[in-house]
Structure 1
Amino acid sequence: QEVLSSLLASAGEQTQTINDQAILTYGHVTSLTEPVVIGFDFGKALPWAAGHQISQAIVLLVPVDTAEATIQDRLQTISAAIAQDQDLKTMTQTATAAIA
């Protein structure tokens, strides 16, 4: 949860709501050479913007040297691929396939 909190804090403006329970965001990781998608389940609902109660996050982890335009393109691709009614595992798999 500490890692996710850090990612959300650093990428707060880039966080978007996927559905009533999940958000999509990204973070930079120095040791990565390729992007990776991970899914987080907080285990409980957390208060979020616009009255949402967020309990999950899909996080795109990218190498530090990834261009901002590339990150935004990948986030848009992921967002377009994920269906509103998917569970966390399916959203993570869909997001991974979308950027492969």
Structure 2
Amino acid sequence: MNYLETERACRRGDTTAEAIHQRLVATRLMTGLSQKELAANAGIKYTTFRSQEQSGAPSVQLMSYFLSAFSVDFNFILGGDPARLPADVLQEILKHLG
């Protein structure tokens, strides 16, 4: 996948709730954790996590968890910018982006 294809898959610059939702789901799937496991690891309630993922409105706490545990940068989650993602993380996330 070339640079432009990667940016399209990540929906770079798309800050809609739907785009953020897709990136959150892809990031969670990349981790291999269920929603319940990820919520517990992030220190938030399962229902809160599920709501944030579905609505495309992640909390700072959730984004901080993704950054510290998986090196997934805020700029990727909120704006689709893949530039700060480690190559292996980006490749795994791309597998889950439609």
- Relative CO higher for 1 or 2, CA cutoff 8 Å, sep ≥ 6? 2
TM beyond 0.5: no
The structure with the greater share of residues assigned to strand is 1
The two structures have a TM-score, normalised by structure 1, of 0.26
